[in-house]
Chain A
Amino acid sequence: MTAAVAKSTAHSIVEASPRTKAFAGTLVILYALITILPLLWIVATAFKSQSDAIAYPPKVIFEPTLEGYVNLFTVRTRQTPDFIAKLPAPETWYDKLVRKHDMVIAGPSKVVPRFVNSLIIGFGSTFLAVFLGTLAAYAFSRFRIPLADDLLFFILSTRMMPPVAVAIPIYLMYRQLNLTDTRLGMILLYTAVNVSLAVWLLKGFIDEIPREYEEAALVDGYTRLQALRKVVLPQAVTGIAATAIFCLIFSWNEYAFAVLLTSGEAQTMPPFIPFIIGEGGQDWPAVAAATTLFVVPIVMFTVLLRKHLLRGITFGAVRK
Chain B
Amino acid sequence: MGQMTTILQPDHAMIPGVNEPAKSRAARRVRGLSDRTIAWLFVAPTITLLLAINIFPLIWMIRLSFTSLNLSMSYLPLRFVGLDNFRDILTDEDVWFRLQTTAQFVISSVALQVVVGFGLALLINRQFRGHSFWTTIILLPMMLSPAVVGNFWTLLLQPQIGPFNYLISLFTGVPPSSFSMTGQVSLAPWTIVLVDTWMWAPYVMLICLAGLRSIPDYIYEAAEVDRASPWRQFWSITLPMTVPFLMLAVLFRAIENFKMFDMVNLLTSGGPGSTTELVSITLKRAAFEKWRTGYSSALAIILFVTVFGAANIYVKALNKVKQR
Least Cβ–Cβ distance between A39 and chain B, in angstroms: 7
Looking at A19-27, A86-94, A99-107, A234-242, the stretch in contact with chain B turns out to be: A19-27
Nearest A residue (CB) for B199 = A35
Q: Do B151 and A273 touch across chains, with their CB atoms under 8 A apart? A: yes
Least Cβ–Cβ distance between A271 and chain B, in angstroms: 7
Which of these, A14, A21, A36, A160, contacts B217 with CB under 8 Å?
Answer: A14
20 A-B pairs, CB-CB below 8 angstroms? Answer: A21-B129, A24-B122, A29-B134, A31-B138, A56-B161, A139-B42, A146-B17, A154-B13, A165-B301, A169-B60, A169-B61, A170-B57, A173-B57, A196-B50, A219-B25, A259-B262, A271-B147, A274-B147, A301-B143, A314-B252
Which of these, A136, A151, A221, A284, contacts B13 with CB under 8 Å?
Answer: A151
Interface assignment of B313: CB less than 8 Å from any CB of chain A = no
Which of these, B33, B124, B138, B261, contacts A164 with CB under 8 Å?
Answer: B261
Q: Do B13 and A133 touch across chains, with their CB atoms under 8 A apart? A: no
Q: Do A161 and B140 touch across chains, with their CB atoms under 8 A apart? A: no
Q: Do B18 and A225 touch across chains, with their CB atoms under 8 A apart? A: no
Q: Do A155 and B261 touch across chains, with their CB atoms under 8 A apart? A: no
- Which positions 274-320 of chain A face chain B at CB distance < 8 Å? 274, 282, 284, 287-288, 291, 294-295, 298-299, 301-303, 306, 309-310, 313-314, 317-320
Least Cβ–Cβ distance between B204 and chain A, in angstroms: 11
- Which positions 232-250 of chain A face chain B at CB distance < 8 Å? 249
For the complex, give the distance between the alpha carbons of A146 and B40 in Å: 11
What chain B residues lie within 8 Å of A219 (beta carbons)? 25-26, 29
Interface assignment of A143: CB less than 8 Å from any CB of chain B = yes
Please list the 7 inter-chain residue pairs (A to B) with the smallest Cβ-Cβ separation, ordered nearest first. Answer: A223-B32, A169-B57, A165-B300, A25-B128, A253-B145, A255-B147, A192-B53
Interface assignment of A54: CB less than 8 Å from any CB of chain B = yes
Least Cβ–Cβ distance between A251 and chain B, in angstroms: 10
Interface assignment of B275: CB less than 8 Å from any CB of chain A = no
Q: Do B60 and A172 touch across chains, with their CB atoms under 8 A apart? A: yes
For the complex, give the distance between the alpha carbons of A308 and B202 in Å: 15
Interface assignment of B76: CB less than 8 Å from any CB of chain A = no
Q: Do B38 and A28 touch across chains, with their CB atoms under 8 A apart? A: no
Q: Do B140 and A35 touch across chains, with their CB atoms under 8 A apart? A: yes
Interface assignment of A158: CB less than 8 Å from any CB of chain B = yes
For the complex, give the distance between the alpha carbons of A318 and B318 in Å: 14
- Which positions 289-324 of chain B face chain A at CB distance < 8 Å? 293, 296-297, 300-301, 303-304, 307-308, 311
What chain B residues lie within 8 Å of A224 (beta carbons)? 30, 32-33, 35, 38
Q: Do B120 and A31 touch across chains, with their CB atoms under 8 A apart? A: yes
What chain A residues lie within 8 Å of B172 (beta carbons)? none
Interface assignment of A147: CB less than 8 Å from any CB of chain B = yes
Q: Do A295 and B144 touch across chains, with their CB atoms under 8 A apart? A: yes
What chain B residues lie within 8 Å of A24 (beta carbons)? 122-124, 126, 128
Report the contact-size class of chain B (Cβ under 8 Å from the partner): 35 or more
Interface assignment of A112: CB less than 8 Å from any CB of chain B = no
Which of these, A21, A133, A274, A310, contacts B206 with CB under 8 Å?
Answer: A310
Q: Mark B172-192, 1 if CB is under 8 A from A, else 0.
A: 000010000000000000000
Least Cβ–Cβ distance between B196 and chain A, in angstroms: 13
Interface assignment of B97: CB less than 8 Å from any CB of chain A = no
Nearest B residue (CB) for A160 = B307
- Which positions 257-313 of chain B face chain A at CB distance < 8 Å? 258-259, 261-262, 265-266, 279-280, 283-284, 287-288, 293, 296-297, 300-301, 303-304, 307-308, 311
Q: Do B128 and A169 touch across chains, with their CB atoms under 8 A apart? A: no
What chain B residues lie within 8 Å of A259 (beta carbons)? 147, 262, 265
Using A14-B224, A162-B280, A172-B293 as known contacts, say yes or no to A255 and B145 having CB atoms under 8 A apart: yes
